Copies of this chain bind each other. A is one copy, B any other.
Amino acid sequence: MPQDRDTALEDEMLMARAAWLYYVGGLNQEAAAKRLGITRARVNKLLQDARETGVVSITINPTNVGLLPVEDSIRDRFGLDFCICTPALGSDRNGAEASDLLKDFAFRAVGAAAAAHLRTHLASREDAIIGTGWGRTLQQMTLQLAGVRAPKARFISVMGSLTANSAYNPFEVVHAFARATGGEGYVMPVPFIADSVEDRKVLLAQRSVQQALELGRSASVAYISIGELTEDSLLRRQKMLTAEEVVELRAAGAVGDTNGIFFDDEGRAVDHPLNQRTLALGLQELHKANAVGLIAGQSKLRAAHAFLKSGAARGLIIDGDTALLLMKEI
């Protein structure tokens, strides 16, 4: 049941005061509790809430994480407006065990950086139209937007949806963005890979799809991620592709995809029927929609390189370790 409004306000105020005392004032929880006349346990909970809801936010100065030269190189090499790297963490002393954890980190790191980027973007244009893709990185991004309010912003998926439902689904992603910011969300209520070329035509003719695509094309920024083309890839795991299709696509030269558009090592859309069945903004359209590529995880290295060659992206947010590998290739 909904909490009383006064109580909620009172609560948020207490939260802010506790947070100030603790984080800015440097009091410990006990002292802060005494000061506020409540128990330490309560202060502890308040602080937890404050972090979760974004009343307090912790930022790390991106200067001197040591990747500025890398950022510049990548930006210049691929003609981007900007390139942001998260800190490189790769040099762990105990090689094997960490790789899983590391991958998770990459998603969070890139998600956090992307969230910060969006925050800045919304600060300058609060009525922005923001295109969104799908996947784990995008999902992480939505989780780290606490405290961002943008009731006038509109989030629009630049692609159709998954059939299987998961937190990575464009539908969920857009919803999460809208909820986090108080803005509006729009999705394309069709699968993003149609069953046949004919089906695609029918779906594409839908007014709601046309409207969504139209809105997506006018985005002032669009956050999209890319996929690698392997048996482990999310596309496969979500059953959007069959094993045979993967083999075919690879045979056609495909090394990765963005929003279901498969491209080869040179960043060109490959000649394969699947590419005729995708319901999403194309590579050129993404560029016009100010696409920002989010790259998390070293398994995406090859796909990332190819994607950058395609020229679809205006900007790049990439985890530091993958960026370092990319540097070696260019």
Contacts and interface: CB of A to CB of B under 8 A. Distances in A.
Interface of A: 9, 12-13, 16-17, 19-21, 23-27, 34-37, 50, 54-66, 86-89, 91-94, 98, 101, 104-105, 108-109, 112, 120, 123-124, 146-147, 149, 182
B61 A58 contact: no
A50 to B, nearest CB: 8
Contacts of A64: 9, 12-13, 16, 55
A264 to B, nearest CB: 34
Nearest to A123: B123
B65 A61 contact: no
Contacts of A94: 34, 37
Contacts of A24: 58, 60, 105, 108-109, 112
16 contacts: A12-B63, A12-B64, A13-B65, A20-B87, A24-B60, A34-B92, A34-B94, A35-B93, A37-B92, A55-B64, A56-B60, A56-B61, A62-B147, A63-B149, A123-B123, A124-B124
Contact of A59 (B56, B63, B108, B124): B56
A61 B20 CA distance: 10
A112 B26 CA distance: 12
Given A37-B93, A89-B35, A59 B57 contact: yes
Contacts of A23: 58, 60
B59 A146 contact: yes
A94 B38 CA distance: 12
A13 B65 CA distance: 5
Given A9-B64, A12-B64, A108-B24, A89 B59 contact: no
Contacts of A36: 92-93
B9 A66 contact: yes
Contacts of A27: 101
Contacts of A61: 16, 54-57, 146-147
- Sorted nearest first, the 9 A-B pairs with minimum C-beta distance are A37-B93, A61-B146, A13-B66, A25-B105, A59-B147, A16-B65, A23-B58, A35-B92, A12-B64
Contacts of A65: 13, 16-17, 20
A83 B62 CA distance: 30
A35 B20 CA distance: 31
A70 to B, nearest CB: 12
Nearest to A67: B13
Nearest to A120: B123
A61 B144 CA distance: 10
B147 A60 contact: yes
A146 to B, nearest CB: 4
Contacts of A120: 123
Contact of A35 (B16, B56, B98): B98
B56 A58 contact: yes
Given A86-B20, A87-B17, A108 B60 contact: no
A111 to B, nearest CB: 9
